[in-house]
Every structure is written in structure tokens, then in C-alpha cells.
Chains A and B, each alone.
Chain A
Amino acid sequence: MAQATSSPPDLVDEEAPARRSYSSDAAGLGRLRAGIFVAPALLLVAAFLVFPALWVLYLGLTNYRLTGIAAAEPQFVGPANFIDAVSNPAFWNSTWLTVQFVLGSAVIGQVGLGFTIAWLLRDRQGPLKRLVEGLVILAWILPSAVVSFLWVALLDRDGGTLNALLGLPGSAWLLDHPMLSIIVFNTWRGTAFSMMLYGAALGNVPPSHLESARLAGASGWQQLRDVVFPHIRGHILTNLLLISLWTFNDFTPFLITAGGPDGRSEILAAHVYKVALQSGELGYGAAVSTVILLINLVVAVFYLRLLRSRK
């Protein structure tokens, strides 16, 4: 059984030796009761998650539209939507921007900053730690409608706080650097999750290991590389997987830049919203959603592979 100190076990459970008739789990739950415990959650998920997902896959193969004839009687068009998508430069532009967005704000921004904060505050207690953690978590729990507007105010050309601080009146951040703006915004917005996770993970690193590394004369960086990272590798990868997926499908940047100017910050989530709701091409939107799902699948499999591979 995995103790808190052991490295994360493989994803593949070795099948336990032949079971006795009586349930061998800790609470004597048994498979039947376990099934009953899982059932309500699975039912809801099946109705409101799996079923709509399958429906999206189907809609992607039709010419369904929000209004007009195709809304009443959608025709089956097969892969036409997908062909439209891959021949549409706007789609590739969105995909490339999304890659930048995920790498910049999730993989580099949130993981880097979250780990840095967790590492800086790892053996501190008291008001300073509570203040820093509280503020980071505050950025995470405030409603997106509010924080997106706060950033619009912060980056405003004339009265924005950023320009006032930098002494650069008239810099239009949202027009000149839309991607940079939403990447920094999303780093600010989402660091809390990584920070809390790494804070918990660092608590699992046995102090004795760090102590012996220190006595052996390892520098701070060597301690990180040789003692801490091997211990929390599983946490890092799981965290990366979760926030990559969340960032990939995050709609909030749309509230700040609306995908503009001229699509220069139109990440895929915004692209789907635009084609599906604003232009009413539901079939095409569903096809793009399917492509997003496939990309997410590839990302997830990639992470799981990394997680499984033993050094």
C-alpha cells in the first residue's frame, strides 16, 4: 500500500492474489456496496457529461446551425466540418495561440510560480505565510466576471494602474500585447492550485533525506534536484495534467480581450464560442470541440506515459 512517503506507484495495479469470499478492504465495504456508493455520481456524470459529449461528436458530423433551415432539419455531412476546420487559417491560428497560452500560463507560469511560493514558505509559519497564501488564493476564488474586469481596469490605457506604476501613460497593453496580457492574467488567476498542491507535496518529503543531503554539502539547487524532485515527481505530473486541461478549455480570457484585436488572442475556447454562438455554425463548432477533445486526449496520454516511465 502506498504510504505518504513512498513514490507514487505505477498506474497499473497488480491484480491482487485470489480473493477470499469476504471483502478484504479496510472497512469491509465489499464490491457491491462500493458499487452502490459510486452509482449516484456515475449516474449524474453519465447523464450530464458523457451523453452531451457523445452528442457533440455526433453534431460535429452534421451541418447543424443556430437559425434557419439547418436548425430545423440538420443534414448529416460526415467529415465536411473537419475538412473546413483544417483548411481554415483561423483554426490553426487559434490552436497555435492555445499552445502558447497553455505553455506560458500553466506550465511555466502557474507551476513555476506555485512551486516557488511553496518552496519559499515551506518551513515558515505565521502571519507572513498566511498573508501570501491568502492573497494568492483570493485571486483564485474571486468570480471570473469580477477579476476579468479588474484586469481590464488594471491594463487600461489612460487610467490603468499598471501604466501609472510604470510611468508609461498611453501604453495599450491589451491592443499591443494581447497574448502576454492574458498569459500573465491567467498565471495570476490560477497559481493558487499549484501552490497548495506543492505545499502539500513538499510536506511529504522526509526531512531526514534533506538533512543528510545538507550534511553531505549539497547546495540548495542540488537538494531540489536530487532529493525533492524525485519525491514529488508524481505530484508535478498530475498537477501539470490537471492545469493543462483546465487552461486549454478556459473561457475567461475572452472576457478580457474578446479574442481580439483581429483574433490575435483568440484561443480555441474563444474560437468555438465565436463560430458556434456568434456565427451560429453549431456543427462546425462541435467539430472544433471534437478536435480539442482529441488534443486533450493526446496531452493526457503523454503525461500518463511520463508518469509511468521509471527513470
Chain B
Amino acid sequence: MTARFVAGRIGFYTLIAVLLAFFTIPLLWLASAPFTSDPTYEVAVPDFTWENFQAVVEHPYALPSLYNSLVLSAGTAVLVVAMAALAAYALSRVRLPGRDALLYALLLLSSIITGTAAMVPLFQLAVELNLIDSHFGLILILTGGLLPAAIFMLKDFMDSTPKSYEESARVFGASPLQIVRHVVVPLVRPGLATIGVWAVANVWGNFLMPYLLLSDVEKQPAAVITYTLYTEGGQANLRMLSTFGLLYSVPVVLMYLFVSKKYGFRFHGGIKR
């Protein structure tokens, strides 16, 4: 127990405490305001009322919008994970011509075209393809935007998994598709789970695209409904906002907890090149 060791320990725990404070303090309001009868911006000890939740339940679009968010994010995540897994595996194991250039080009495009830049063409495209006001159309569009980054991350993941299992399965005469289903998928399951969570979180919070492509308020997801609460009568409706915000946040948190317990939520091997 040298003095230097003790100082090191003290420094370490001080740093951890500062980090914990930095990441916790912004979240406090979300934990207290929904249970306070007349919330302000101040974080106060709540008086544990359920009235705000009552108000959210009675709001005609609040709970349905959560269901819409669920449909959109689950649909997108399933498509993204399935397509990205197939593509990433093929790109990782087979040297297709122009592979790296293609990946980087798509990654570049996806980073920009998912934002404000693509609004106009995507809207026009959706009109042409008759995808306005359709959840399925929105799922396709969101999937297209998320796929490049998902393939990029999954390919790294696959690059860092050993090939020996596949090779030995092949020696025993398994067909390529059997190998993918029974050998590769179990190996990369944590990676698939991570990408799934990432896709759900992305769609769950996405405001621009649904706002643009869904005009029917009954089809709109929670992100869009949250904004209508901002501007009701010019003043942010803090009761509704805080409570709905909490309800809107809980599903992603539960999903993350579930996935991290079951599969682990981390990038094994990390991203190589």
C-alpha cells in the first residue's frame, strides 16, 4: 500500500464519480417530472401522482403511436439484420471484385443521405412508388439507409471470427447454406443482436422520415407525436412531454437490457479496417 497506489485509487474513483454524475444528471428530470403533479424544469422530489399517466392514456394518439413505433422499428431491424448478415458474410468470406471500395462508398452515402439532404428525392420517390402513408414503404426506406453501416460493422465482426469451424463443417460434407445456418449464425449471434439493437434504437428515435412520409396522424410513430406535444399552444406541455417521454424511452431500455443479458452487447473483435 504505497502512497502512490492510494493516490491512484483515489484518482480513479474520483474520475468514475465525475463520469457517473455527467451521465446521470441529465436523466434525472425524466425520472422525477412524470410523477410530479405540476412539473417545471426543476428536478424536484416528486409527489408520486399518476395523473400524468392518466392524461397520456386518454390522449387519442399517444399510445397508438407507441405501437406504430414498435411496428416500424421491429420491421426495420429484422430486415436490416437479415440482409446485412447475408451480405456481410459473403463479403467477409468471398473476395468479390471492388469489395472495399463499394463498402466505403456506400458508407459515405448513407451517412449523408439519411439526413436532411435526402428529404426531397425520397419524398418524390415515395410518391412515385405509392409508398406514402405506408408503414411497409417507410420500413424499406429506413432499411436502405441503415444497411451500409450495418454491413460495415457486421463484416468486421465476421472477419474476426475464426474460419476453422466452417472449414471443419465443410469437411463433414455440410452444404454452404447449412454451414451458414448452423455454424455461422450461432457464432455471430452477439454481433447480430448488437446490430439489431442499433437498428431499433435508430428507427425508434427517427423523426424526419416518418414526419415526411406519413401524413395520417394515426400511423405516425412516437417521435412525431412528441413534437406535437412540444408545440401545443406555443408552450411545451411539460406534463405530457415528460410522461410520454418516459413511456417512449422505456421500451428501448428494456430491449437493450434483455439483449445485453442474453447475448452480451459489445463489439467483439471491434472494427478492423
Contact = CB atoms under 8 A, between A and B. Distances in A.
Interface of A: 1-2, 4, 8-9, 11, 13, 16, 23, 25-31, 33-35, 37-38, 40-42, 44-45, 47-53, 55-56, 59, 64, 113, 116-117, 120, 128, 131-132, 135-147, 149-154, 156, 158-162, 164-165, 188, 196-201, 203-204, 232, 234-235, 238-239, 242, 245-246, 248-251, 269, 272-273, 276-277, 282, 285-286, 289, 292-293, 296-297, 300, 304, 307
Given A138-B27, A146-B30, A38 B86 contact: yes
B245 A164 contact: no
A113 B140 CA distance: 35
A11 B143 CA distance: 27
Contacts of B62: none
B85 to A, nearest CB: 9
15 contacts: A1-B163, A11-B273, A13-B95, A23-B94, A29-B89, A31-B94, A44-B147, A138-B256, A143-B222, A144-B207, A159-B40, A165-B25, A200-B267, A273-B116, A304-B104
B149 interface: yes
Given A51-B125, A297-B108, A272 B29 contact: no
B267 A34 contact: no
A116 B18 CA distance: 13
Interface string B146-159: 01110110001001
A76 B144 CA distance: 29
A56 B16 contact: no
B208 interface: yes
* Most chain B C-beta atoms within 10 Å of own C-beta, residue among A59, A146, A160: A146
Chain B interface category by residue count? 35 or more
A4 B271 contact: no
Interface in B172-228: 176, 179-180, 183-184, 197, 201, 204-205, 207-208, 222-223, 226-227
A275 B198 CA distance: 31
Given A132-B20, A159-B40, A296-B111, A52 B170 contact: no
A120 B19 CA distance: 11
B90 A45 contact: no
Contacts of A38: 86-87, 90-91, 96
Given A138-B27, A142-B249, A30 B94 contact: yes
Nearest to B244: A146
A235 B109 contact: no
Contacts of A201: 270
Nearest to B236: A149
A1 B162 CA distance: 10
B78 interface: no
A23 to B, nearest CB: 7
B132 interface: no
B167 interface: yes
B270 A197 contact: yes
B166 interface: yes
B15 interface: yes
Contact of A144 (B93, B119, B122, B205): B205
Interface in B61-109: 79, 83-84, 86-87, 89-91, 93-96, 100, 104, 106-109
Contacts of B12: 120
B197 to A, nearest CB: 7
Contacts of A47: 125, 140, 144
